[in-house]
Amino acid sequence: MAQLMGQMMQMPLSISSLITHAARHHGDTEIVSKRVEGDLHRTTWAETELRSRKLAQAFARLGLAAGERVGTLAWNGYRHLEIYYGSSGSQLVCHTVNPRLFPEQIAWIIGDAEDKVLCFDLTFLPLVEKLAPALKTVRHFVLMTDRAHMPAQTTIPDLLCYEELVEAENGQYTWPEFDENTASSICYTSGTTGNPKGAVYSHRSTVLHAFAAALPDAMALAARDTVLPVVPMFHVNAWGLPYAAAMTGCRLVFPGPHLDGKSLYELFENERVSFSAGVPTVWLGLLTYVKQNNLKFSTFKRTVIGGSACPPAMIRTLEDDFGVEVIHAWGMTELSPLGTLARLKSKHDTLSREERQHILEKQGKAVYGIDMAIVGDDGKALAWDGKTSGDLVVRGPWVIRRYFKQEGSPLQSIDGREWFPTGDVAAIDADAYMQITDRSKDVIKSGGEWISSIDLENIAMAHPAVHEAAAIACRHPKWDERPLLVVVKKPGAELTREEMLAHFEGRIAKWQIPDDVAFVAEIPHTATGKMQKLKLREQFRDYKLPTA
Amino acid sequence: MAQLMGQMMQMPLSISSLITHAARHHGDTEIVSKRVEGDLHRTTWAETELRSRKLAQAFARLGLAAGERVGTLAWNGYRHLEIYYGSSGSQLVCHTVNPRLFPEQIAWIIGDAEDKVLCFDLTFLPLVEKLAPALKTVRHFVLMTDRAHMPAQTTIPDLLCYEELVEAENGQYTWPEFDENTASSICYTSGTTGNPKGAVYSHRSTVLHAFAAALPDAMALAARDTVLPVVPMFHVNAWGLPYAAAMTGCRLVFPGPHLDGKSLYELFENERVSFSAGVPTVWLGLLTYVKQNNLKFSTFKRTVIGGSACPPAMIRTLEDDFGVEVIHAWGMTELSPLGTLARLKSKHDTLSREERQHILEKQGKAVYGIDMAIVGDDGKALAWDGKTSGDLVVRGPWVIRRYFKQEGSPLQSIDGREWFPTGDVAAIDADAYMQITDRSKDVIKSGGEWISSIDLENIAMAHPAVHEAAAIACRHPKWDERPLLVVVKKPGAELTREEMLAHFEGRIAKWQIPDDVAFVAEIPHTATGKMQKLKLREQFRDYKLPTA
């Protein structure tokens, strides 16, 4: 007989179904935004869905056709959220551009994506004025503000006002149905070498990722939560929060451009934020402010920290001093971004707090949908013993299979299946907890043995006088490479080279202790908040180690 | 230009990916089963995955081809779980048969599904011996036990031993990849009229449902949970728990046939169960035992109660006396089964406990994926005002679009979309909380006004002397129908007709108070634990109300 098929309703997974669900079932749940204009704005899921439909009408009126890209240069806010849904929902492709990149990179990315419309916050008016002549694909420039805030004059031709576009429409628009594998959005990775590359997400991958992100062992999002995404909406779609929040009916609070410790703290308190997510560097600023002013969080209960490895010292501070549960996570643009999160298993119930903490400092276990493996130089899978390190590879329905417009596949065949090579080096223990030991290009190769730069940084960061630390490889005549520790001291703190090095004793094998310490005023960061080790290595290229 | 497609990995949603995930990432997490044989059995996700593969090999060796059905008559246990994955995972269709149905119905269902293999627990040996001659489609009978427990003789031809089948295989088997819309399992609804009808689930619908079921506002399943499904695996796949548990890496505890209060309580305590799910009647027995013996739950923290409306009094007892959070849910076989769950929103944080409790007594809000509406007799959508009742209709990717082998569509077109009519009557409030007021056939029509039988039952159940109560319509010369309350008293409790009726005063409109009370020793239940009102109505067909 013919194969039996399921007899269930056929409904494509779609981004419009997320906002429709939120509007129908969580209609009056608030979306609060700190605006570029300075004030606090309040709207709801129902209003956001309606305005997204109006925006879809406006995009159509501007002549955009299915599959064309809508670029954004914008902070986290309700208008950005409307663009997410108004574009993807109407079969356009939402392309969030990171405004912290160099202007030339921004122009290059917008050209590569062939954005037809560019929507941007007031903050970026001078930037866009400068770039506009170079943006050959852009037919319409939309300033995300109301008439009152439009500039009296600008060099941008035919600059459109976002509010006027939206309000001109009647909202009589039905979200179209289409193949769930249709492109929904593009994010570019800011690679440290070569031009940025685009990951093209689909409606299917986005909805499946939202399910995974909302699960109890991931971000654990419920309708009782008030979620403040510190991670920018131009950074891998704020880790999928704008989608997962609609799916689960969360209340949303957007900080706009106000990411300093004081602004964030006041927003957390005034708006009763229960959950947040961001990279480690953001928490540095917030925690410094909170500590300096002897403050406490009254509603903030848990946060996902990822983007780069979270120093264990930061996890301890958040948990012990502030009662905020830290969920350490790992992901990347090519994974939409969620891959693993550190959460406990049933058998860990009997462990001591210290033992549990040790597990939770790892990047964690794969969320369902993602499978992972570590492979050696011979391309063969390595053991999950918690000691063996290898190149981390992943697969899953929200992992890219190719980059936008790039010839050739980035995938790697292992044991008859295709995997995406992450560029991270990791160990996986017998309980399937993964720990990043390094970026493959950051690992320090000393006499044939590998030293994890992250291990060294975590130890350094646990010292009370250290604000930030980076361990990089320095040339060494005998060992090829030896670790140099680059340190930013806390304001007013005293710390000598000898004290820093003594701090490593007993915490790591003797041969792994850095050969030297260099104190600097600042460590360079990428536009997404990661330490720029490539730049550091360049800076210290001719550095002579005392051991050399 | 051509429409832009997403560039993500193409991986079909599959049931085998659930067990593979559990085996790789939660390999040593336990699956504990109280066996029919009487002892407690322990295995793991890794072992279950391996044995499921061996079982897939065994099914192939028995000559089963893709799409063919594997029937089960079995309790909740690890072998049943292996059949779930071994059959669906290898592109066969798992057909769980409810052993509590009448033997003739069981034979009819197995014939309608054309089961090629029938696997059954020792409990059901006498039943299957009786039925075997009538089961024309079944080519192989498999007794789910080891050689030592095989009967010395049986009338079943060529009876196979489950353990021998599994252990004969080497496990060198790779789960096949195929279209995610392929049928994965069939469940029959035990309709109160006509023959049962089969719902044919797909791999896609099952995985999407598992995501939804595991969400924080649904069952909130995490790897730290120990889950005891009281709801049988022959009842809508135990509400999807065997799938959602694999997805999230929960520890599982199966009660086998031991569902009495004492057995359940001991299993809850000894195995540190944190979460359970079942119909209200199961909790009656457990709570009675626990109260009579002055016991407490030490690890049991929350439970989903559904299948039929949960009396508010039971919710209060579980929460106030035992600290168990009750998640009131609604679903049906045709919905895989989850539709709605009662969970709070962010804006409810400021409500009093009483006000929150009132919200949580409803069947709740739709989980993402399910949309719902209520419609009037004219087929038009009704307002969500919490007062207007109408026929509840739903749609979503885990809702059936037709029944197995049935001509014609059960769906109903409303506002240009297709909806599944649930047969329930419900009101939906402005916050999108749904409350079932009745089954459409159980509603009591008194002088043109509707009286909710569920409202009357909930009030009756709140009386300390009432064990169970059913409100049914009785013929009345003036009002057409008037309510009769059928009551089972608690053992040893005293309660008169007058006391019962007085209990309604002030709790409901005067004209809705039942006209009479009939005390009975027992109320008949369906095989899935629901009160059989059809049978009750037949029993009281000629009952003369004192008001008539």
| pLDDT, tens digit (0-9, with 9 covering 90-100), for A277-325 | 998 888 888 999 999 999 999 999 999 999 887 888 899 999 999 999 9
User: Which region, left, alpha or beta, applies to residue A108 given φ > 0 means left and ψ of -120 to 50 means alpha?
Assistant: alpha
| Residue A345 identity | K
Residue of B nearest to A215 (CA): B215
Peptide bond into A483 cis (omega under 30): no
* Contact yes or no for A401 and B13 at CB 8 A: no
Closest CA of chain A from B264, distance in Å? 20
- CA–CA separation, B242 vs A349, rounded Å? 22
pLDDT of residue A380: 92
- CA–CA separation, B238 vs A372, rounded Å? 30
**Which A residues in the span 115-174 are in contact with B, Cβ-Cβ below 8 Å?**
none
Which of A41-55, A348-362, A515-529 has the weakest average pLDDT?
A: A515-529
Cβ-based neighbours of A352, under 8 Å, separated by 6 or more: none
Q: Does B428 touch chain A (CB under 8 A)?
A: no
- CA–CA separation, B411 vs B422, rounded Å? 10
* Contact yes or no for A9 and B420 at CB 8 A: yes
Residue of A199, A346, A395 with shortest CB distance to B225: A346
With H, G, I as helix, E, B as strand and everything else as coil, classify residue B115. strand
Give 3-state DSSP helix, strand, coil % of chain B, rounded to 5: 30, 25, 40
Closest CA of chain A from B11, distance in Å? 6
Per residue in A166-183, pLDDT tens?
A: 999 999 999 999 999 999
* Contact yes or no for A211 and B216 at CB 8 A: no
- CA–CA separation, B539 vs B518, rounded Å? 11
pLDDT of residue A340: 98
* Contact yes or no for B28 and A4 at CB 8 A: no
Pairing relationship of beta strands A434-439 and A417-428 according to DSSP bridges: antiparallel
Task: For residue A223, list chain B residues with Cβ-Cβ distance below 8 A.
Answer: 217, 343-346, 365
* Contact yes or no for B203 and A403 at CB 8 A: no
pLDDT, average across residues A233-259? 97
Q: Does A530 touch chain B (CB under 8 A)?
A: no
pLDDT, average across residues A532-542? 89
Length of chain A: 548
pLDDT of A90 > 70? The answer is yes
Q: Give the containing element (helix H, strand E) for B338.
A: strand B338-341
Residue of A6, A349, A401 with shortest CB distance to B200: A6
Task: For residue B212, list chain A residues with Cβ-Cβ distance below 8 A.
Answer: 211
In tens digits, chain B (548 residues) has pLDDT values of 468 999 999 999 999 999 999 999 999 999 999 999 889 999 999 999 999 999 999 999 999 999 999 999 999 999 999 999 999 999 999 999 999 888 999 999 999 999 999 999 999 999 999 999 999 999 999 999 999 999 999 999 999 999 999 999 999 999 999 999 999 999 998 655 568 899 999 999 999 999 999 999 999 999 999 999 999 999 999 999 999 999 999 999 999 999 999 999 999 999 999 999 998 888 888 999 999 999 999 999 999 999 887 888 899 999 999 999 999 999 999 999 999 999 999 999 999 999 999 999 999 999 999 999 999 988 899 999 999 999 999 999 999 999 999 988 999 999 889 999 999 999 999 999 999 988 878 888 887 777 888 889 999 999 999 999 999 999 888 888 899 999 999 999 999 999 999 999 988 888 899 999 999 999 998 776 778 888 899 899 889 999 88
* Contact yes or no for B215 and A248 at CB 8 A: yes
- CA–CA separation, B437 vs B309, rounded Å? 9
User: Using CA of residue A261, residue A262, residue A268, residue A271, what is the dihedral sign?
Assistant: negative
Per residue in A130-170, pLDDT tens?
A: 999 999 999 999 999 999 999 999 999 999 999 999 999 99
With H, G, I as helix, E, B as strand and everything else as coil, classify residue B175. coil
* Contact yes or no for B222 and A216 at CB 8 A: yes
pLDDT of residue A342: 97
| Residue B529 identity | G
In the numeric block, which tokens belong to residue B95?
């057909």
- CA–CA separation, B132 vs A284, rounded Å? 71
Which of A87-96, A443-452, B389-398 has the weakest average pLDDT?
A: A443-452
Per residue in A398-416, pLDDT tens?
A: 999 999 999 889 999 998 8
Residue of A2, A344, A395 with shortest CB distance to B224: A344
pLDDT of residue A256: 97
Mutate to test the interface with B, among A9, A221, A236, A404 (most CBs of B within 10 A): A9
Residue of A1, A369, A400 with shortest CB distance to B7: A400
Burial of B477 (0-12, 13-18, 19+ CB in 10 A): exposed
Q: Does B66 touch chain A (CB under 8 A)?
A: yes
Q: Does B214 touch chain A (CB under 8 A)?
A: yes
Task: For residue B344, list chain A residues with Cβ-Cβ distance below 8 A.
Answer: 223-224
Long-range contacts of B535-542 (CB under 8 A, 24+ apart): B536/B470, B536/B472, B536/B486, B537/B472, B537/B473, B540/B472, B540/B474, B540/B484, B540/B486
What's chain B's Rg over C-alpha atoms?
24
pLDDT band (50, 70, 90) for residue A222: very high
Burial of B288 (0-12, 13-18, 19+ CB in 10 A): middle
Residue of B182, B211, B432 with shortest CB distance to A24: B432
Q: Give the containing element (helix H, strand E) for B355.
A: helix B353-360
With H, G, I as helix, E, B as strand and everything else as coil, classify residue A329. strand
pLDDT of residue A479: 84
CB B21 within 8 A of CB A395: no
Return the percentage of chain A with pLDDT > 90, whole number. Answer: 83
pLDDT of residue A3: 82
Edge-to-edge, what's the strand order for the sheet holding B338-341?
B40-44, B30-34, B251-254, B226-229, B275-278, B302-305, B325-331, B338-341, B365-366
Q: Does B401 touch chain A (CB under 8 A)?
A: yes
Residue of A8, A211, A215 with shortest CB distance to B400: A8
Considering only CA atoms, which of B521, B520, B457, B519 is closest in space to residue B483? B457
User: Using CA of residue A456, residue A458, residue A459, residue A465, what is the dihedral sign?
Assistant: positive
Task: For residue A248, list chain B residues with Cβ-Cβ distance below 8 A.
Answer: 215-217, 368
**Which A residues in the span 217-276 are in contact with B, Cβ-Cβ below 8 Å?**
217, 220-226, 247-251, 272
- Interface ipTM: 0.90
Alpha-carbon distances, residue A138 vs A52, A107, A108, A253 (angstroms): 21, 11, 12, 31
| More confidently predicted of A103 and B529 | A103
Closest CA of chain B from A502, distance in Å? 39
Please list, residue by residue across A30-48, b when 16 or more beta carbons sit within 10 angstroms of its beta carbon and e when fewer do: bbbbbbbeeeeeebbbbbb
| Residue A58 identity | A
pLDDT of residue A102: 85
pLDDT of residue B193: 54
Tell me the sheet residues that pair with B71: B95, B118
Pairing relationship of beta strands B338-341 and B365-366 according to DSSP bridges: antiparallel
- CA–CA separation, A262 vs A287, rounded Å? 10
